[in-house]
Structure 1
């Protein structure tokens, strides 16, 4: 990424935390950063990328739900794959709906009969209108799952905007559902006290996603299929983002790959516009990226993975509840709650946040299997969340035989009782050691030898108990060349949990 000499210039003046009379709640108030931004790298790179609320949150939820959910076949790339001869989605489409030239993707938006005469359309109805879509129930589920931020894929690669877009007539208010889906999600999610995110994947929309679609005859169809030409498409990319920023004031904007193929001027226009709006709103915001931006002002996002060890600056991974698809498909399978939770714990220990995708059905139903996984994660975080939320990475992320992370597309995996992950309190006086299973009568942590951790200032050793905020006192640990040894209450686990947390509290900074 090219940087001019202007990148070496002095940063703009920092904005200050507002006074109490400003009327903004303290948790929403902006902290540090410039008072204004211009569309240059030297300016937007001054934006603080990972505000405190984001580093404290650790866990968020988003969802691939849209027109591509209707066929419930293949994966979320069905709109592309249905046009590729020899692809299984193409064969399915021909058998179920007809040739893509005669039964194109926009039929799922406008509505049409399939070969069996069944009317097919992405048109979820609210529960209040006799349908199955309940955004408040979704938001309640996200909160119960332990998420601290949540939101929709506002537009995927397919070019269908899930809000009342003026720039794009292919939107959920003008067509299909006739609902402002982003607006409904935002109101419900914020109503549960969560931060609101919007995910946009539209950089790829006009950079190859529809490269097997025949040339379209009208401007409207060219817009849907990414055929307007480079200048118009890049402007439309920016206009959509600006609408989302203005209309919904998202706390976090996630963007998928191919930002590097968007005109650099438009990328900078977006960043400066979003950050200036955040200054006006008086709150800290996050922009994530996979390419095309940088970690000076934004947060890097791994896909289905994470680093093998500690990594700074603060980062994020987005992963899915399923290994096979990001959207709902018939017969979709799921990772276990244990694998997902252990991966969340691992990523927190390495200085990152997990954004977990779920896959609702086209009618607005969240399948029971997905709800069960989310509630299991929430049960753990509800009981033992003090070792996760608001913590920071320690000088070692952990130990054990299970290697997690090491790049993108490494996926979640369950750990073993010998796998330990560390976190610490922000004041650096409490060290949490989370075992990904019950070791037995004695828990051994090989990292914590006397040369690594001096116990002279240890105040207490406790096991986080089954009830939130309660503890089981443990005898003072012993140390030798094999590590630290902690005698536990019993050889068998005193309660059922997917991981067990030892809390070591010191009178001063953790001596290690």
Structure 2
């Protein structure tokens, strides 16, 4: 994972028609990302507290993403290389770690039951990250979890467990970066992110075959590609990206893709550790880790995790702006889930269990918030229901905008009877709701777009 915004590549004659994002995805609102792979064995990256930044020239040598370890460890003088040599010895390569990967605490059914209980509607594990290590039984390479380490088809197990728990199943795939079958120096800048990658026909066929295997075997509801796609496959051809999309939609008519393919075929737009500033005219997806890394980072502790109330506010703000939240958890190498991350998930799930009617199946209202700075967000339900989500219930009062006062006087409630309105026109927030990270006021209005 790395944040960038490159959506449209050159016009090479291929047909990339636009597709509507399916309604199931728009209704789902909340999914769980799972970054688990060979990089989870070292499980280490430079840790950064929220708001802490490094100079741009050190972004890659001091990378905060543990899933980038295979690149970072090759940068001379990087903290990751120092860690690796202390932990594993000078002569041990990253790929040597594959044989030491064991998954004795891994229970895919327990994972999926947890995610479903915490309110997720879909799950997207990493099938192959930039290190090239495949988590399924692929015919393209022996560098996989079936031939090394776990000796198991981890993706097949995750797919079955997800669907047994009623979750939609998606797959992350690194389309343009594969360090196992490349011979480039380490990436050390955003420019090199796009120049130090293969674009030849052989690699394009390799990527096509791998993703075709996953499509045919699992019919994923979401295809979540990262970084880009080999340029040589963007024109018309039997193993082109156009052919891959045709194959995918033929197998999964209700499937959705993201926007990281480098061609003008956009599904849900992605935003990584950033948010839209206002309601988006297109469906988008906010994604981030519970901490500052996607892959498990043993150097992080509770200080590096998103706050509990902040997490609820993140979901609410994203949904109010026409987005979904794809929230990542990073399992340890053995398959155990970090307790502090699980606790955050459960906290969000408890709030959703009580207030999910203001999230699931909703759509944006005519505005997502108030320009006055009143801490509220809006979502709309069917048949004119407006959800006014108060982000500071402890204040005890909610000041509504003028255009909502009359509908509020007639129909507003906190879910258990009419809401009280004081002499100044403020909605009184009941005592029992003031300890929540967000409280939901509902009223009736005909203003849904």
The equivalent of 2:76 in structure 1 is 85
CA contact (8 A) 1:206 1:233 kept: no
Where does 1:117-196 land on structure 2 (aligned, <5 Å)? 121-124=100-103, 131-196=104-169
Shift of 1:455: 2.9
1:423 aligned residue: 379
Question: Quick check: 1:319 aligned with 2:256?
Answer: no
Aligned to 2:308: 337
| Residue equivalent to 1:408 | none
Q: TM-score, normalised by structure 1?
A: 0.74
In the other structure, the counterpart of 1:18 is none
> 1:426: Cα distance to partner?
3.5
Q: TM-score normalised to the size of structure 2?
A: 0.83
Unaligned runs of 5+ in 1: 7-39, 112-120, 125-130, 214-225, 403-417, 465-470
CA distance in 1, matches of 2:315, 2:433: 24
The answer to which structure has the higher helix fraction is 2
Higher relative contact order (CA 8 A, sep 6+): 2
Matches within 5 A, 1:421-460: 421-427=377-383, 429-445=384-400, 448-450=401-403, 453=404, 455=406, 459-460=410-411
Q: Aligned pair 1:103/2:89, yes or no?
A: no
2:427 paired with 1:486: yes
2:419 maps to 474
The C-alpha deviation readout for 1:271-328, integer Å capped at 9, x for no partner, is 121112224xxxx11001235133x6522111112210011111112111112x2111
Q: Structure 1 residue 193: deviation in Å?
A: 0.6
Aligned: 1:462 with 2:413: yes
Q: Corresponding residue for 1:14? A: none
Give me the whole-angstrom Cα distance separating, in 1, the residues matched to 2:83 and 2:44.
8
Q: Does 1:274 align with 2:219?
A: no
Larger Rg: 1
CA, structure 1 residues 354+371, in 2 after alignment: closer, same or farther (shift >3 Å)? same
Gaps of 5+ in 2: 1-8, 46-65, 187-195
* 1:47-66 superposed matches below 5 A: 47-48=19-20, 50-66=21-37
CA distance in 1, matches of 2:341, 2:412: 36
Contact 2:10 2:263 in 1 (8 A): no
Note the C-alpha offset of 1:85: 0.8
Looking at structure 1, the residues matched to 310 and 182 of structure 2 have their Cα atoms a distance apart, in angstroms, of 32
Q: CA RMSD in A?
A: 2.7
Which residue of the other structure, out of 249, 254, 273, is the alignment partner of 1:304?
273
Q: CA deviation at 1:370?
A: 0.8
Number of aligned pairs?
A: 405
2:338 is equivalent to residue 359 of structure 1: no
1:328 paired to 2:296: yes
